[in-house]
């Protein structure tokens, strides 16, 4: 298992995440399309914040099922939080915020979030 490190642009929101990035998801819902996130889903317990949780702002819309977390200083969205259909706490980590990975080598699948 690999431990990845990442952050927002200014570094106010920093994190570590454990796992293996086999793929990422691109969603076309109204917020994901605008922010351009490539999401890697892990159990919430695999994501550890290295900065105080209150340094990350939170945004919800629609059914408020996902907490879109962002840096209030630089505006970058490093991760989101939600509950899986099976009831498990999950994190959707924006792999564009992870240091030292080759984004071009990670397969990306598309999700039609506008249809949900």
> Residue 63: which CATH number?
2.170.150.70
Express each pLDDT in 7-50 by its tens digit: 999 999 999 999 999 999 999 988 889 999 999 999 999 999 99
End-to-end CA distance of the chain: 33
Cβ atoms 32, 19 nearer than 8 A: no
Express each pLDDT in 64-76 by its tens digit: 788 999 999 999 9
The predicted model scores a pTM of: 0.93
- Number of domains the chain is built from: 1
**Burial category of 3 from C-beta neighbours within 10 Å (exposed 0-12, middle 13-18, buried 19 and up):** exposed
Domain that holds residue 29: 2-115
């Amino acid at each position: 298992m690999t431990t990845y490190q990442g952050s927002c642009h200014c570094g106010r929101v920093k994190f570590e995440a454990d796992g293996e990035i086999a793929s990422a998801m691109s969603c076309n819902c109204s917020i994901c399309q605008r922010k351009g996130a490539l999401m890697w889903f892990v159990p919430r317990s695999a994501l550890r914040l290295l900065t105080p949780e209150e340094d990350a702002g939170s945004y919800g819309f629609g059914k408020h099922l996902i907490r879109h977390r962002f840096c209030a200083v630089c505006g970058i969205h490093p991760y989101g939080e939600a509950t899986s259909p099976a009831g498990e706490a999950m994190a959707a980590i924006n792999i564009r915020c992870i240091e030292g990975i080759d984004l071009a080598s990670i397969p990306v699948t598309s999700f039609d979030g506008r249809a949900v």
